[in-house]
Structure 1
Amino acid sequence: MRLTFTIQRFNPETDQHPHQEEYRLDIGRGLTVLEALIRIKNELDGRLALRYSCRSAICGSCAMHINGTEKLACRTSVRKELERHGKITIQPLPNLPLIKDLVVDMAPFWEKIRAVTPWLTPITHPTKRYGPSGQLRLLPETYQFHNVDACIMCGACVAACTSHEVSKGFLGPAALAKAARFVADPREPADAKQVRLSALQEADGIWDCTRCNMCVQVCPKDVQPMEAIIRLRRSSIRHGLTDAEGARHITGFVDLVRQEGRLNEALMPLKVVGTNLQRILHVLPLGVRMFFKGKVPLPFGHTIPGIEQVRAIFSAARRRAGHG
């Protein structure tokens, strides 16, 4: 079968903007997108630039934007893409600087990985956790990494991240999932975990994720970075880090439901912005519009029937979590 591949091309030495070029190729059954690209380079256009290495979905080098979704070219079937989309369109990963054709600059990606300190904090005073030869012991029953250690650093999650699209400073799903891996590691000292979590409260940290779920959808290794970010948020609150607006939104929501049995939209903004007068004035017009739309209950209205049962659920949850 003869098939047309539409590939984004860009040569910084000759082109001002990226453009599309079409290549027709005779293909057989079982061909992957990466194999097709290699054939196009070898048989039709030797100038085509792409990045690949293992060809086995291990190294992550061949991550690309294929038919509108971030995928590993080496594990993407041409036949299945054609059946699903009726075409094959290949572009470089978005949200990363373009070098040439399908090759992007991964330097910003690695800078964010390094920013979360992706290694264990050294322990200055040896404890019983050190083995006889000086290693830190990690027993299987002492940890749960939730598969975040399966990340191959392909960058697909960053390319698909809607938060990163509007804020290039956002640490991104891969780096935050890596941070979650070390927060969950029992070999990491408690004070070091506190330092890690404190650093992630800043702008472009864990509270800037919009939970769009795109990183989960495109991850080729089922790392589920968004779930890792949620675990970091929960851990932050457990460690008493509740000053960020995102954290106040969660704790305020819980407090209102526990107190009134429902969400009180009139009080919720105050729970989030606190005593920041500038932020209060910023949300005030929204509150006025909500009031006229009938979306705001009385700030100090009565509680719902059965409130004691609701509070009993919260009390049971606290006891189960070990808070007494």
Structure 2
Amino acid sequence: MKAFDIYRYDPEAERNPRIDTFEIDLDDCGPMVLDALIWIKNKVDPALTFRRSCREGVCGSCAMNMDGTNWLACTRFISDMSPSATIFPLANLPIIKDLVPDTTHLFAQYEMIEPWLHAETPVPEKERLQSPEERSQLDGSYECILCFCCTSGCPSHWWNGDRFLGPAALLQAYRWLADSRDEAKEERLDTLEDPFRLYRCHTILNCTRTCPKGLNPGKAIAEIKKMVIERDS
């Protein structure tokens, strides 16, 4: 058996948030934390609410805080959880219910960086080509699945989330700045060059420590700052 302390909150109910403890039968459950949550929902408490989809660490839906660390429930082994295992929703976000945070604001910030190709040259007959070297510049940024583990764990975003774009959006911004096919580098840098949108990052690097894909948003933000300095010098 394994015990989990799980955060519960329903904004529509007239009661404060609480912690519920559930005992999991490990012989009747899969190996991942997401398996345990599904087991609880199916066999103990159908009202337990959480997001999930791919179960393969690809969609980012099941991002939550487990034993104090943001990660994906579908890639965290139950055996890696502490004896007093705790599961909370991602921090610093409004709660829709239980383990489901409201990410509307984060996706609005993502939309602000215009995450699509800007190109004025005529569309080629087949495709816009890149050399292997040019393509390699996207490694470490295109893999982001927008789980927002990094942004939720960023103290700078806790303090200035209304204006600081946060590591997830800025990593995606760097992905397009580094793309040799994109032709709007100047406009993108103009949008980012702001005391809060970009420069509120204080290089705490919680974002890098908590990325379940092993990416380095802190480095990407530093590269954007470097691009701005080189452009303006």
SS state of the match for residue 74, structure 2?
A: helix
Q: Which residue of 1 aligns with 2:165?
A: 171
- Structure 2: which amino acid aligns with 1:147? G
SS state of the match for residue 173, structure 1?
A: helix
In the alignment, structure 2 segments of 5+ residues that lack a partner are none
SS state of the match for residue 195, structure 2?
A: coil
Q: Which residue of 2 aligns with 1:196?
A: 188
What is the alpha-carbon distance in structure 2 between the residues aligned to residue 16 and residue 210 of structure 1?
A: 37
Q: Per-residue CA shift, 1:126-159, capped at 9, x if unaligned?
A: 3xxx5333x3222222241241000011110111
What is the alpha-carbon distance in structure 1 between the residues aligned to residue 41 and residue 196 of structure 2?
A: 39
What is the alpha-carbon distance in structure 2 between the residues aligned to residue 148 and residue 122 of structure 1?
A: 20
CA contact (8 A) 1:131 1:137 kept: no
- What pairs with 1:14-163 in structure 2 (closer than 5 Å)? 14-28=13-27, 31-82=31-82, 86-123=83-120, 125-126=121-122, 131-133=124-126, 135-143=127-135, 144-163=137-156
In the alignment, structure 1 segments of 5+ residues that lack a partner are 242-324
Cα shift at 1:81: 1.3
Return structure 1 stretches of 4+ with deviation > 6 angstroms: none
What is the alpha-carbon distance in structure 2 between the residues aligned to residue 137 and residue 16 of structure 1?
A: 57
What is the alpha-carbon distance in structure 2 between the residues aligned to residue 121 and residue 17 of structure 1?
A: 47
Q: Which residue of 1 aligns with 2:213?
A: 221
**Higher RCO structure, 1 or 2 (CA under 8 Å, sep 6+):** 2
SS state of the match for residue 150, structure 1?
A: coil
Q: Which residue of 1 aligns with 2:174?
A: 180
CA 1:89–1:15: 2 relative to 1, 3 Å = farther
What is the alpha-carbon distance in structure 2 between the residues aligned to residue 61 and residue 30 of structure 1?
A: 18
Cα shift at 1:14: 1.3
What is the alpha-carbon distance in structure 2 between the residues aligned to residue 142 and residue 90 of structure 1?
A: 41
Give percent identity, aligned residues only: 37
Matched, 1:240 2:232: yes
Determine which structure has more spread, i.e. the larger CA radius of gyration.
Answer: 1
What is the alpha-carbon distance in structure 2 between the residues aligned to residue 119 and residue 98 of structure 1?
A: 29
Q: TM-score, structure 2 length as denominator?
A: 0.94
CA contact (8 A) 2:10 2:98 kept: yes
Q: Per-residue CA shift, 1:70-126, capped at 9, x if unaligned?
A: 0100011111113xxx22100001122110000111211110110001111131x43
- What pairs with 1:245-324 in structure 2 (closer than 5 Å)? none
More helix by share: 1
CA 1:8–1:180: 2 relative to 1, 3 Å = same
Q: Which range is displaced more, 157-166 or 10-19?
A: 10-19
Cα shift at 1:65: 0.5
- Structure 2: which amino acid aligns with 1:9? R
What is the alpha-carbon distance in structure 1 between the residues aligned to residue 222 and residue 203 of structure 2?
A: 9
CA contact (8 A) 1:30 1:79 kept: no
- Structure 1: which amino acid aligns with 2:158? E
Q: Which range is displaced more, 30-39 or 147-156?
A: 30-39
- Structure 2: which amino acid aligns with 1:155? F
What is the alpha-carbon distance in structure 1 between the residues aligned to residue 167 and residue 212 of structure 2?
A: 14
What is the alpha-carbon distance in structure 1 between the residues aligned to residue 14 and residue 140 of structure 2?
A: 42
Q: Per-residue CA shift, 1:204-226, capped at 9, x if unaligned?
A: 22211011110001111122111
C-alpha RMSD of the superposition: 1.5
Cα shift at 1:203: 3.3
Q: Which residue of 2 aligns with 1:294?
A: none
What is the alpha-carbon distance in structure 2 between the residues aligned to residue 203 and residue 185 of structure 1?
A: 25
CA contact (8 A) 2:119 2:181 kept: no
Cα shift at 1:12: 1.6
Cα shift at 1:30: 6.2
- Structure 2: which amino acid aligns with 1:187? R
